[in-house]
Amino acid sequence: MKAHNRLAAALMGAGQLEQAYSEFARALQMEALSSDASWNLALKGQEACISMLPLWRSKPSKQRISNRFNTDLGLPRSETKVYAISDIRFGIKENEEWVNAIDQTKFKKSVLIVAGNLADNMNALARALTILKSKFRRVFLTPGNHEFWVHPTERRVDRYPDSFCKLLHLLEVCDYIGVDMFPAAICKGVYIVPLLSWYNNEFDKNDRRPDPTIFDPLCRWPMDEKAQVWKYLLKLNEAHLGRTYNGTVISCAHFLPLPCLPFEETPKAAKAMGCEDIEDQIFQLRSKAHVYGHSLVRAAEAHGGVMYINHAHVQPGTEDVRKAQATLLCIFNGEKGIVQEEEAIC
């Protein structure tokens, strides 16, 4: 435990805040072998990392912004298309076959938004992102609840002590593959802004009271799941909200930002479906379109001057005909701007 604490302190000093957080979390996981002094140091270190992470001032974070934000700013708008998809669930055989079957050349100049629930474990995530990045010019990912799951095989001390560790490692994996989880221009005057999100009980208009049900038991949080996780993930977006976007903004987040958007109305579903505070951040960005997932009910609805789009890969009751219904949705087409037209790719 002392070794993890010392390594974490060194990483903080070297500007590697994300890695430092993971080392403090690993130290806390070794509670049974620790002294009180080591435990307190690890806890304070973790809390310090949690307070500083929303600033995104670590070296890797600065590189994501400086190296990728303006890379495509000079590309012509007329040749750019943006496609959307969510809830692919790459670990399922049929869905893996669908991803692999995407045309190798057709989308080389296009951009893909994946609005969460791409895969459950990191190995599947890396494979799916690698395949998608080989087919599209750029791929933007915002994590869903499945990306935060920590499976038993991933809970070892050297893997992911908690869900934040998995998120921070996912950022590293995306950096390596060339996938974006930070805002960036995709052509002249068009920006995509991925937002982190989580659900809260208040989304349920019929019963705003907290519910004891744990909807995602595979998640492991260093803070209160019901009251703090959704607030903290939204706080991680604040640094992106203050940037200057001169042109059209397309935002994306996994969870629903409005209760009026369609979803499967099963018992207690609303309590784990969305968060209305996401809408506030969408308005701050002045988004023209917002892509979301989680609900498996596809939709394209305008509310408050924003087009809200859900194009889930898996739909209720269609599991037996997934291949026939597998499509991407083109949400932006060059000079035409925001559009809604389905284009089959299988």
Report how many domains make up the chain. 2
Distance in angstroms (rounded) separating the CA atoms of residues 165 and 33: 21
Average pLDDT score over the chain: 89
Q: Which two tokens stand for residue 320?
A: 């037996």
Instruction: Give the end of a domain, one of 30, 55, 80.
Output: 55
Maximal C-alpha separation, the chain:
63
Backbone CA torsion sign across 266, 271, 274, 279: positive
DSSP 22: H
φ/ψ of residue 300, rounded to 5: -145, 100
Residue 321's pLDDT band, with cuts at 50, 70 and 90, is very low
Residue 158's pLDDT band, with cuts at 50, 70 and 90, is low
Q: What is the pLDDT of residues 71-114, one digit of tens each?
A: 999 999 988 999 999 999 998 888 899 999 999 999 999 999 99
Instruction: Give the end of a domain, one of 10, 38, 55.
Output: 55
Nearest-5° angle of CA 213, CA 219, CA 220? 105
Whole-number pLDDT of residue 167: 96
Q: Which domain holds residue 12?
A: 1-55
Whole-number pLDDT of residue 156: 66
Per DSSP bridges, beta strands 190-194 and 248-252 are parallel
Backbone CA torsion sign across 259, 264, 270, 271: negative
Residue 159 has pLDDT above 90, yes or no: no
Sheet holding 289-292, edge to edge: 184-187, 190-194, 248-252, 289-292, 306-310, 299-303
Residue 318 has pLDDT above 60, yes or no: no
Of 1-5, 255-259, 336-340, give the range with the top mean pLDDT.
255-259
Distance in angstroms (rounded) separating the CA atoms of residues 149 and 200: 17
Do 51 and 61 have their domain in common? no
Do 252 and 330 have their domain in common? yes
Residue among 330, 328, 293 nearest 141 (CA): 293
Whole-number pLDDT of residue 56: 93
Residue 248 has pLDDT above 90, yes or no: yes
Do 185 and 60 have their domain in common? yes
Whole-number pLDDT of residue 345: 40
CATH of the domain at 207: 3.60.21.10
Can you give 300-312 as a three-state secondary structure string?
EEEECCEEEEECE
Residue 11 has pLDDT above 70, yes or no: yes
The pTM is what? 0.92
Do 168 and 317 have their domain in common? yes
Do 174 and 162 have their domain in common? yes
Whole-number pLDDT of residue 325: 54
Whole-number pLDDT of residue 21: 93
Residue 320's pLDDT band, with cuts at 50, 70 and 90, is very low
Do 286 and 171 have their domain in common? yes
Residue 219 contacts residue 171 (beta carbons within 8 Å)? no
Distance in angstroms (rounded) separating the CA atoms of residues 168 and 163: 9
Between the alpha carbon of residue 26 and those of residues 43, 102, 130, 164, 340, the distances in Å are 11, 39, 28, 12, 46
Q: What is the pLDDT of residues 21-69, one digit of tens each?
A: 999 998 888 875 667 778 888 899 999 999 999 999 998 899 998 889 9
Do 81 and 170 have their domain in common? yes
What sections of the chain are H helices per DSSP? 2-13, 17-29, 36-52, 59-68, 93-100, 122-135, 145-148, 163-177, 229-235, 238-241, 277-285, 322-325
Residue 60 contacts residue 278 (beta carbons within 8 Å)? no
Q: What is the pLDDT of residues 268-303, one digit of tens each?
A: 888 999 999 999 999 999 999 999 999 989 999 999
Do 236 and 184 have their domain in common? yes
Residue among 221, 226, 193, 186 nearest 210 (CA): 226
